[in-house]
Amino acid sequence: MGTIRGIGIQRQVLLFELERRCNFPECNARNFIGLTKNEAKEYRGFECSACERWNNDKLSKKDVPDWWDEIHSTQQSDSPSSDQTP
């Protein structure tokens, strides 16, 4: 008998869905962005689905109220300004 092989697909739970408008006035397209918790920690912007240009962006407490403290503390610890000693 042969060995049965399957395809393994790593799955992550989608926790956040954001709606953003492209920052470029000539585009202004609506973009829907889905993020896992790990992606939210590293989120710095998005590529517009219409014009394909990069839009700098960051999450606000309003975007992720339940996870804000965890995400915000991770983002601060990654920034160079957090390395300052008192």
- Spatial neighbors of 72 by CB under 8 A, at least 6 apart, are 61
Query: Residue 43: is its pLDDT beyond 50?
Result: yes
2 confidence band (pLDDT: 50, 70, 90): low
CA-CA distance, 82 to 86, in Å (whole number)? Answer: 11
Q: What tokens were used for 50?
A: 């219409």
Q: Say whether pTM exceeds 0.75.
A: no
Query: Residue 33: is its pLDDT beyond 80?
Result: yes
Query: Residue 24: is its pLDDT beyond 50?
Result: yes
**Beta bridge partner(s), residue 6:** none
Q: Specify the residue for token string 């992606």.
A: 39
Query: Residue 9: is its pLDDT beyond 90?
Result: no
Task: Break the chain into its structural domains and give their ranges.
Answer: 13-59
pLDDT of residue 5: 76
